[in-house]
Amino acid sequence: MARRALGPALLAVVQAVDAALTPADARLLVACSGGADSLALAAAARHVAARRGLPCAAAVVDHGLQAGSDAVAARTAAVLAGLGLADVVVLRVAVPAAGGPEAAARDARYAALRAAAAGDPPATVLLGHTRDDQAETVLLGLARGSGTRSLAGMAVRGAGLLRPLLEVPRATTEQVCVELGLQPWSDPHNVDPRFARVRVRHRVLPVLEDALGPGVAQALARTARLARDDADLLDALAAEADPGLGAPTCDALAALPAALRGRVLRRWLAREGAGDVGADHVRAVEALVLAWRGQRGVDLPGGTVARSGGRLLWQAVGRG
């Protein structure tokens, strides 16, 4: 496709993909569900890869969670081949019953994509999350009250994954499909109100747009960028302040600013093997540092934190 042949929506997505790539991205693997976002991403990635001389493949993940999912995956693979992607693979995964279905499906999907991307050099996995997805993620993080890192939303790049469309609105990816004459697949889960993200998408964001005016999604995505910059800096400072292995001293912890102290405690607890540590857990451990009155230890997922001799001590469950 020559540049002059690109429609305005596809051109916008092509430019986003092109801007996100670096010389380290030697091979591309586009994750495609068959929805508008990932189809638009695949079309743009194929164009950019051809111009740059990069190998570009695509992967369709079949979670097996819905009747006929294999047929949807096969149809998506055929559409991708029609877009000019010669190397298309269907990855079938087993989603464990334990945990939330969204998180379990995501973990299984990412594991399969990373395995498919393995090689020398490994492929960069491109994901089709848009600005609207980022806005939804920020609102969900705000509702959890999980702090700056949660408000930071999804990273553009990390752990072999690249999200080049986080500044592109969903309406643009939908228009790409119109320009190319594609019929994107509509995942029934995307309209199922049992899922919090669906309620945010179809109920919360429209109310905010109606009450506050247009541009809410863009503002939330901008908030994510700013929050991520702040969170990255604080995490780097916390790594410098982290005393490393051993039992941390309460005096050293008390001397840290609150934003760093909480992060240092999280790093220490993760090293000791604590499970899913939330903000309330961290505050309870901080009380052992800042408001010590001889109180008993704090129970956390996987163990207990106690104070002894001016230090915090971790005792794992089942150890005496």
Sequence ranges of the binding site:
33-38
CA distances 193 to 66, 190, 253, Å, are 16, 8, 44
- Binding-site residue positions for ATP: 33-38
State both tokens at 72: 């949807």
Distance CA 309, CA 290 (A): 15
